Amino acid sequence: KAGVTQTPRYLIKTRGQQVTLSCSPISGHRSVSWYQQTPGQGLQFLFEYFSETQRNKGNFPGRFSGRQFSNSRSEMNVSTLELGDSALYLCASSLGGPETQYFGPGTRLLVL
Amino acid sequence: AQRVTQPEKLLSVFKGAPVELKCNYSYSGSPELFWYVQYSRQRLQLLLRHISRESIKGFTADLNKGETSFHLKKPFAQEEDSAMYYCALLGGSNYKLTFGKGTLLTVNP
């Protein structure tokens, strides 16, 4: 079974731009969660989508948004990028809830 | 608010020695706790969860509600155990995973 895939793997943007990251879950998985990983703050939960609906949300500003499509693929969007948004963004999928999550390799975003 | 604390950023032991990675949590309800591991150049993956009460790769973890701890233990460390270990708690109104900052374990030959 193919694992969670994320595209692109690396991205360089400048302040003020926006970015869209993509995550394809394991086949059959309906839950997709997003995390931000930075050296200072560690791994922080962004949001979770299940059957195209945002089910849970972390404490991030509204610049961070996401969506999920009918095939369970998910995208995450960050608008008006700030330097502090530089991070590794991880996506994780599971069958139903976050109890048993499978992580993708991450997208490394650098904001200049 | 829920919080997970891993007091050691780095832990170095010799092969064959016992290893204990510490994890303390703060949570008002009944926690569901996990250990995740990330080997070099690999993805973050689930190592074990407390409700399973199983041993994975020789590692065990016991939930101690009195001490609010969930330490990860292995009696005899192997070089292939060298990795970053994260403790995580599932819960809260938004039912999210809260991770500790991680402990980098190095097992020396």
Q: Which residues of A touch B41 (CB under 8 A)?
A: none
Average pLDDT over every residue of B18-45: 93
**In 3-state terms, what secondary structure has residue A89?**
strand
Which two three-digit tokens encode residue A19?
Answer: 């970015």
Q: Which residues of B touch A56 (CB under 8 A)?
A: 94-96
User: What are the pLDDT digits (tens) for B67-95?
Assistant: 999 999 999 999 999 999 999 999 887 78
pLDDT for B28 = 86
Q: Does A101 touch chain B (CB under 8 A)?
A: yes
B91/B33: higher pLDDT: B33
Burial annotation A5-25 (CB, 10 A radius, 16+ → b, else e): ebeeeeeebeeeeebebebbb
What percent of chain A has a predicted confidence (pLDDT) above 70?
99
**Paired residues of B87 in beta bridges:** B35
User: What are the pLDDT digits (tens) for B34-69?
Assistant: 999 999 999 999 999 988 778 889 999 988 989 999
Residue B80 neighbours by CB distance under 10 Å: 10
Tell me the CA distances in angstroms from B68 to A81, A86, B24, B62, B101, one per residue in order. Answer: 38, 33, 6, 10, 17
Q: How confident is the model at residue A100 (pLDDT cuts 50, 70, 90)?
A: confident
Q: How confident is the model at residue A69 (pLDDT cuts 50, 70, 90)?
A: very high
Average per-residue pLDDT for chain B = 92
Q: Which residues of B touch A103 (CB under 8 A)?
A: 43-45
Q: How confident is the model at residue B29 (pLDDT cuts 50, 70, 90)?
A: confident
Q: How confident is the model at residue B96 (pLDDT cuts 50, 70, 90)?
A: confident
Q: Does A94 touch chain B (CB under 8 A)?
A: no
| Nearest-Cα residue of chain B relative to residue A97 | B95
What percent of chain B has a predicted confidence (pLDDT) above 70?
100
CA distance B23 to chain A (A): 15
Q: Per-residue pLDDT for A14 more than 90?
A: yes
| Nearest-Cα residue of chain A relative to residue B95 | A56
